[in-house]
A and B are shown apart, each in its own frame.
Chain A
Amino acid sequence: MIRLAPLDHKLLRDLRRMWLQIVAVGTVLGCGIALFVMATGTYGSIQRSRDQYYAAERMADLAASVVRAPESVGAQLAALPGVDAVETRVSGIALVDLPGVSEPVSARVVSLPRGREARVNDIVLHTGRLPAPERDNEIVVNEAFAERNGLGPGDTLAAVLYGRRRTLEIVGVASSPEFVFAVAPGEITPEPQRFGVFWMGREGLARAYDLDGAFNDVAIRQARDAKPRELVAAVDRLLARHGGRGAYGRDRMISAQFLEDELRSLQTMASVLPPVFLAVAVFLVNVSLSRLIATERSNIGLLKSFGYSNLAVAAHYAKFSLAFAALGTVLGVAVGQVGGDYMASIYRSVYRLPDLQFDAGPLVYAGAIGVGIAAAVLGSARAVRRAIRLPPAAALAPPAPTRFGGLGERVERAARSLDAKSRMIVRRIVRFPRRSLSTVAGIAAAIALLVTSQHFPVAMNHIVDVNFGAAQRMDVTLAFADVHDASILRDVRRLPGVLAVEPMRSAPVILSAGTRSQRDSLLGIPAGARLNRVLDGEERPVPPRADGLTIARVLARKLDVQVGDRVRVQATDGRRRSLEIPVVAIVDPFVGAPAYLELDTLNRLLQEPERVTAAYLLVDARAREAFSREVKRLPAIAGVTYADNAENTLRRLFNEGSGFFAALFVVFSSMMAAGVAFSAARVTLAEQERDLATLRVLGFRRREASYVLLGEIGALLLAAIPLGIVLGYLLTRWLMSQFATELFSFPHVLSPAAYGQSVAFVAVAVVVAALFVRRGVDRLDMVGVLKSRD
């Protein structure tokens, strides 16, 4: 049996006595560590999984599409300096008719090389086999699409490829680094039920698209020593005469970009939130230990008088803080692990990364333990130092009464206008400003975190509400396979149930100003657009203008342009016009709308009149079935999106990912509020025990004595509320700006309900904790307290 040293016996007994305090502090510390483990671990897991996947399957660094380039251009591309590998491909959009599914489904069809693995953007076959090169009706489909639609090898489906309807047989299910996040063209959310990726033998697909001996899509892996900007320019030069639409890097590949944005949010989360919790935990450890050491004064004197060294005394009290650290770390790592597993499962369902498992790795766990110990050491340093510094004689003598003189004339004047009990409260708060402030700061931090955490769902719902309520008011979006003559709109109008049609054109361009340039889409929106409106940050419609460009602030910043500056617009498609257009307005659009102007003006400037790439429709709900049936027959259509489906998908996406996180965040913040409140109340009671007992002995009733205890906490709570609101506002604004991506700018919606609920919740937590502790007033041992020295 292990024989414990006497001091360790004392330690264990004291810990048992303080267990509630330890749980309170350990929980707050645990929340911080759990967030740290979860966010950092998830970030690391996804990043690792992505990088391995990209490397193993040779994810493209650059991609470009062309109208038609002869296969020989592929060899020229491969010979460019800085190119490691090139895969020329045939790629297109197909409209799919799934048995039993009335709504149109679309798919990106991509060719696979004959008789070898793809040099770039290879696929991982999960089941079945690759299509036979000579068979032009065999396809491999992506995993998400197969899962959602219950498809597998042996199933058939009908698809319109390049205007020709054909029956395709699924021979395999696969995934690819290129489509980790498979989104239909023009959409912002993955809808695997309605959008798939089909891989087909190169010859068969080339025949279907009339691209025998040619390609319309190229994926390039660059060499380690490549100079990306120069490479892009070289690729563009080579492809220009074949109708090249401009090469772009991973930052414009939608799947890679989504994943990158997600990783950045996780990184923000991991770097911002845990420190707040840890700071509060440090403060709580400090408060708890300071109090303990104050009550242990005579014990410290005794130990020292017996000959215990300063080191032994310091070690004894440091062990207390390690108890907080141990509980916090164990709790944090366990919760972080469970939360991380869950987050990984969510990410697996959204991002198709094979082998994505939550694995925080030894560094994160070591970090968690380190953070826990550091929090405990930081929190206890001052208190332990005080214990060491106490000379034995001084420790054994009763402490002099706390000095309350000289608190300042203004405080005294205010105090004198109050009754004696309130005066006690005011003087204590002012006398111990650091402690009062840290309690206020702790409570305020809890309010701020709650406000922020509640803001996530508010912001997300707001994005969806505004996007689908005020900005995008169409029922259906039709994406055309290519730039199309406006005459197509006549066919669209004839579809059953169509009530209104609004055209749109999206032109791939390179926008440049000075030395800065940006590849983006320039949108042409009709004057008086009603179905697809661009809204600014205040949700006011910003109609397109004929006299110049309206551009998003993010883009304006990238190009470093202001209203009145001229932007060079180089079309990378069609007639490839190069123009200079003035910027006439800069807006903060709600959901990605980089640059736009009036549709006819755009077409005129590009010298391509009457062109459209998409149409927005109002469709009579009663005719939806018939509409769905008929629209599939239009060969020009590459994608059909129902707004209600998109809205539901977006909401689900938000709820599953960020929603889970927000809920967790609310729970953690609430626990923190309760922990701070409990500790503050407990310490106040401990410090006031003698005064409260004196009041009781003097004949004050329980509620009168309780007033002194609750009054102090109440006053600090009242001070913390406005501070918490302001902090919450600032933190939310800052965090929203940190989470903003190219595709979404998170709005800062001032939600009185979120503030009200946060304040109410924290206030209730504080009051409950204070009332819980207040029971101590009922149990005060008047005799014991008063007969002992301070």
Chain B
Amino acid sequence: MSLPAAAARGSVRVFHLAGVEKVYGSGEAAVHALRGLDFDVMAGELLVLLGPSGSGKSTLLNILGGLDRPTAGRALFRDLDLGAADDAAITDYRRHHVGFVFQFYNLIASLTAEENVELVTEVADDPMPAAEALGLVGLGQRRGHFPSQLSGGEQQRVAIARAIAKRPTVLLCDEPTGALDVATGVRVLESLVDVNTRLGTTTLLITHNADIARIGDRVVRFADGRIRSIESNARRVAPRELHW
């Protein structure tokens, strides 16, 4: 079954990358993590970044999320140059536009599920209520629980709720299912797809699992810091159809 694409998908450019390079270290010890990336990310699409470890996909995601800066080239979020903007502007960018989901959840242990979400809604411009965000990931009943009282999958879904509650422009997910078993992983991916579909949030999802790539609109394959290919999926596969 294919999922309907959002109406706006493909018409507005969110990210523009031109000759983006990232080099760690210098001289003989220099490591070229990214070697000249050129591509655009369009509003509302679910883009899967696929590649083996060390191929540069996380580096790219960090640059797009304002956690790191390119060494050369331009990475634009709309008109904001992510390589040149000052620290305050980048913080504001993360605050208002970016939702992150990490492999290791990174919930604040001293806050309940709901409070973890509220942490974001307190500072966002037009957030959705925390309860609604938790409802979207199917955790409405568990909102008073602390992270230590939740399973790994539940913790990851709280992390997704926290990421989407501010209604971010982009949702950046770095191996969100990496630490989870298959069934739980599927549940998490369903939440992500659901958010992308319902809210039209541009979503970038890193995985090294080729099967997961089938849930995206497009798949960007990485190898050795370069983009090896960009393919569009003829149809987006629902997570529950996946097997890995």
Interface residues of B (CB under 8 A from A): 58, 62, 65, 67-68, 87-88, 91-96, 98, 100, 102-104, 106-111, 115, 118-120, 122-123, 145-149, 155, 162, 174
Contacts and interface: CB of A to CB of B under 8 A. Distances in A.
Given A400-B148, A401-B147, A423-B115, A782 B67 contact: yes
A701 B155 CA distance: 25
Interface of A: 398, 400-405, 419-421, 423-424, 427-428, 431, 690-691, 693-702, 704, 782-783, 786-790
B69 to A, nearest CB: 11
Given A424-B110, A697-B100, A783-B67, A404 B122 contact: no
Contact of B110 (A400, A423, A693, A698): A423
Nearest to A781: B67
A696 B107 CA distance: 13
Nearest to B119: A420
B110 A427 contact: yes
A790 B104 contact: yes
B108 A691 contact: yes
A783 B62 contact: yes
Describe A's contact surface by its main secondary structure: helix
A405 B149 contact: yes
A419 B155 CA distance: 22
Most buried by B among A419, A699, A701: A699
Sort A-B residue pairs by CB-CB distance and give the 6 closest, nearest first: A699-B95, A699-B94, A427-B110, A401-B147, A403-B148, A401-B109
Most buried by B among A398, A423, A694: A694
Nearest to B175: A787
Nearest to B105: A401
Contacts of B95: 698-701
Contact of A402 (B91, B104, B109, B145): B109
A401 B111 contact: no
Contacts of A704: 123
A690 B110 CA distance: 12
A690 B122 contact: no
Given A423-B110, A786-B106, 5 more contacts: A401-B147, A402-B109, A693-B106, A697-B67, A786-B100
A690 B106 contact: yes
22 contacts: A401-B107, A404-B111, A405-B145, A420-B115, A420-B122, A421-B119, A423-B111, A424-B111, A428-B110, A431-B110, A691-B108, A691-B110, A697-B106, A699-B94, A699-B123, A700-B91, A782-B67, A783-B67, A786-B100, A786-B102, A787-B58, A787-B104
Nearest to B65: A697
B68 to A, nearest CB: 6
Contacts of A421: 119
Contacts of A786: 100, 102, 104, 106
A420 B122 CA distance: 8
A693 B148 CA distance: 19
A609 to B, nearest CB: 85
Given A402-B110, A700-B123, A788 B146 contact: no
Contacts of B123: 698-700, 704
A398 B178 CA distance: 14
B14 to A, nearest CB: 17
Contact of A698 (B94, B148, B174): B94
Nearest to B58: A787
Contacts of A402: 109-110, 148
A353 to B, nearest CB: 62
A790 B148 CA distance: 13
Contacts of B149: 403, 405
A401 B174 contact: no
Given A691-B108, A788-B104, A401 B91 contact: no
